[in-house]
Amino acid sequence: MPTANSTSLRETLQRARKTRRISQLELALRMGVSQRHVSFVESGRAQPSRELLLAWLHELQAPLALRNVALQQAGFAPVYSGSELGAAVLAPAREALGRLLDAHDPLPAMVMDAAWNVLQMNRGAQWLATTLMPWLAELPPGQPINMLDAMLHPEGMTRHITNLDEVAPALLAHLRDDASVVPELQPRVEQFALQLEARLGKRALTPWPRQMAPVLTTRFATPHGELAFFSMFSTFGTPQDITLASLRVEHVFAADAATRAVLDAQVAA
């Protein structure tokens, strides 16, 4: 995430708009101002009011942390606070996250932040992670797992994906979308792209039109046979805290009866 000192307001606003793939005209219409004014602000020739800037960032669905940065760049006080997930004020949110994870067992589920750090895992996710990447069990207790680092690892989980040619384009597009919002991810995402290119070839990373199932299924070769999964994500609907706004819960579902049977036998039992 850029800081108030690392970029200018105009650079922050331009990047935020382009990330959302919204034109200056569309943004102007949404806010009820002229395109000329939007252009002047983005070029640094005009200074937005605090109210306009907040409306601007809201229309772009900018992350709360980025909104604070933009406010500071414009000379205004930040609006949003960020609490540690363990803080008392976030206790109801923690309870909700715990309920989501527990209810999903024995199917895997985990809580991640915007940088792909795993903050919480249920039993199913712990079992799947250590089944695909046994070396995780050797990490010191309390050492956080970063899923992007886990994919970059020489023995990372992508080594076990049997349909990587199908999964790679969508996975890489997802990572690049995240990196457009969290720029510090960019070097590792591009390193991952190079790894995929070395394995599959550059052409394989281009999403060509093809007949596809309603959801993308990822298939893993494991000691328990091939396991097949698809995912859904949950986020807080109206977060007003930077920490909560960065969180997402990945719910992993069995794509076939054989996979569900393995999870029931290995985790539920």
- Residue 7 confidence (pLDDT): 74
- Residue 209 confidence (pLDDT): 55
- Residue 137 confidence (pLDDT): 84
Q: Per-domain residue ranges for the chain? A: 9-73, 88-268
d(CA 13, CA 114) in angstroms, rounded, equals: 20
d(CA 111, CA 249) in angstroms, rounded, equals: 4
- Residue 206 confidence (pLDDT): 76
Low-confidence ranges of the chain (pLDDT < 50): none
- Residue 211 confidence (pLDDT): 59
d(CA 64, CA 164) in angstroms, rounded, equals: 34
Instruction: Give per-residue pLDDT as tens, 107-148.
Output: 999 999 999 999 999 999 999 999 999 998 888 887 889 999
- Residue 242 confidence (pLDDT): 92
d(CA 267, CA 252) in angstroms, rounded, equals: 14
Contact 150, 117 (CB under 8 A): no
- Residue 208 confidence (pLDDT): 60
In the predicted model, what is the mean pLDDT of the chain? Answer: 91
- Residue 183 confidence (pLDDT): 82
Q: Which of the following CATH numbers is that of domain 9-73: 1.20.59.10, 1.10.260.40, 3.40.50.150, 3.30.70.580?
A: 1.10.260.40
- Residue 47 confidence (pLDDT): 94
* CATH domain 88-268 topology: Beta-Lactamase (3.30.450)
Contact 188, 250 (CB under 8 A): no
> 174-183 — which CB contacts under 8 Å span 24+ positions?
175/148, 178/114, 178/116, 180/15, 180/19, 181/19, 181/63, 181/66, 181/114, 182/1, 182/114, 182/115, 183/1, 183/2
